[in-house]
Amino acid sequence: MSIELPIVNGKISTKALTYSNYSTPATFETIEIPATVAPTELLVKVKAASINPVDCILKNLSYTYLGSKKKVLGGDFSGVVIKAGESLEYKEGDEIYGDILSPMKSVGSFSEYVLFDASKATVLHKIPKGMSFSQAAALPIASATGFQSLNQYAGDLEGKNVLILGAGTSVGVNTIQFAKNHFKAANVVVTCSASSALKAKSLGADLIIDYTKGESAKVASTLEFVKENGLFDVIVDCVRDNSFFDITDAVLKNQKDNGAFVRVSGSKVFDYKNPKFSELLPSFRTLKYSFGAKFGCHAKFVEVFLHRDDNYGKVVEKLWNEKKFDIIIDTEYDALTQHKEAFDKVASGKAKGKVVCTF
């Protein structure tokens, strides 16, 4: 396979979605990137890029005092390898997906071509057979975070009880599938709204707790499950539900029994359109619980930060080939002409799945 590159004066000209700081709109403009690759670098023709809430946060928290150098939006992508460094296992023509999120840097996935150091990508894998570029681009950050959240459990989750707070989120829908189809949990209990219940059930959730019915109903349903089925082995919190700290000790196993409370990034109270730095800080209740956990007073408390885990891609490919993995996409947009609508959809918090832009 051969793609004619737009090379001018030894550089590749590529349209990229750039911004300078929070006050400047994101616009596509032509930038130049090197046409050669270092031993650990990949040059990729991007086919699709998906948007995560963190993309909105980074853009809107890019204050002027941090500098006004042009930055490229995005981290999640899928595409075709054009050139591969000599030390890499990839070759020209390989179809890949990954995460190259680089806060405040000139490298981002919303670009027709990207050049990046493959050794620094937090997610990087070949696309499984039969998976579209849009589906692959929807995976990296949300899906890998869900997988790694369950990996925080110190033992074997087969036959165990898992509680997922925020199953309607992109991380949540992935966590359900990994918990049920890979980790083989006996009971996967989730909290979500009624509008997300059917999807959560179809992905493998055994019990749906509708958090919109109020705090007392949520607590009662959780305690009733524990009474009938035993304590949870792990809780994965996708929405920073601080109210659950009130009953965690009553529904989750302690550290001696490998109990783990795992929290991922994101907050149901975060304003992605106008974020404040203070919203990134842990709440007092979180600090209190995590401090107590360090001294063995509660279950193990873990804050998940995405890192490279090559086993993740193998698991996704296996489940995909077995038709046990569903990729939820809310909307697809054209990257060059509809990027504003796409980012607005994510910032609204109303997307029921990933928002993907195609090139």
Q: What is the pLDDT of residues 115-146, one digit of tens each?
A: 999 999 999 999 999 999 999 999 999 999 99
d(CA 196, CA 330) in angstroms, rounded, equals 12
Residue 269 has pLDDT above 70, yes or no: no
Domain ranges for the chain, please list them: 7-139+328-358, 143-303
pLDDT interval class at 265 (50, 70, 90): low
Token pair belonging to 62: 């890019």
d(CA 320, CA 327) in angstroms, rounded, equals 9
Phi, psi of 342 (to 5 degrees): -65, -45
Sign of CA dihedral 40, 93, 339, 98: negative
Q: What is the pLDDT of residues 57-80, one digit of tens each?
A: 888 887 665 566 889 999 999 999
Q: pTM for the full model? A: 0.92
The whole-number average pLDDT for the span 318-339 is 98
Q: What is the pLDDT of residues 40-60, one digit of tens each?
A: 999 999 999 999 999 998 888
Q: Which residues pair with 125 in a beta bridge?
A: 97
The whole-number average pLDDT for the span 238-257 is 92
d(CA 198, CA 167) in angstroms, rounded, equals 11
Q: What is the pLDDT of residues 161-178, one digit of tens each?
A: 999 999 999 999 999 999
Secondary structure class of 27 (helix, strand, coil)? strand
The whole-number average pLDDT for the span 344-349 is 92
Domain 143-303 -> CATH class? alpha beta
Residue 295 has pLDDT above 90, yes or no: no
Lowest mean pLDDT among 82-86, 196-200, 268-272, 296-300: 268-272
Contact 39, 20 (CB under 8 A): no
Q: Give me the pLDDT at residue 164, please.
A: 98
d(CA 85, CA 36) in angstroms, rounded, equals 9
- Which run of H or E residues covers position 268? none
- Give per-residue burial for 186-215: e unless 16+ CB within 10 Å, then b: bbbbbbbeeebbebbbebbbbbbbbbeeee
Contact 123, 99 (CB under 8 A): yes
d(CA 180, CA 325) in angstroms, rounded, equals 10
The whole-number average pLDDT for the span 142-153 is 96
CA angle 357, 182, 95 (to 5 degrees): 35
Residue 3 has pLDDT above 80, yes or no: no
Lowest mean pLDDT among 220-234, 265-279, 296-310: 265-279
Q: Give me the pLDDT at residue 105, please.
A: 74
Pick the CATH number of 7-139+328-358 from 3.90.180.10, 3.20.20.80, 3.60.15.10, 3.40.50.720: 3.90.180.10
Cα–Cα distances (Å) from 317 to 19, 121, 126, 323, 326, in that order, read 35, 19, 9, 10, 12
Q: Are strands 76-84 and 161-165 parallel, antiparallel or unpaired?
A: unpaired
Residue 241 has pLDDT above 90, yes or no: no
Q: Give me the pLDDT at residue 270, please.
A: 66
Same fold, 7-139+328-358 and 143-303: no
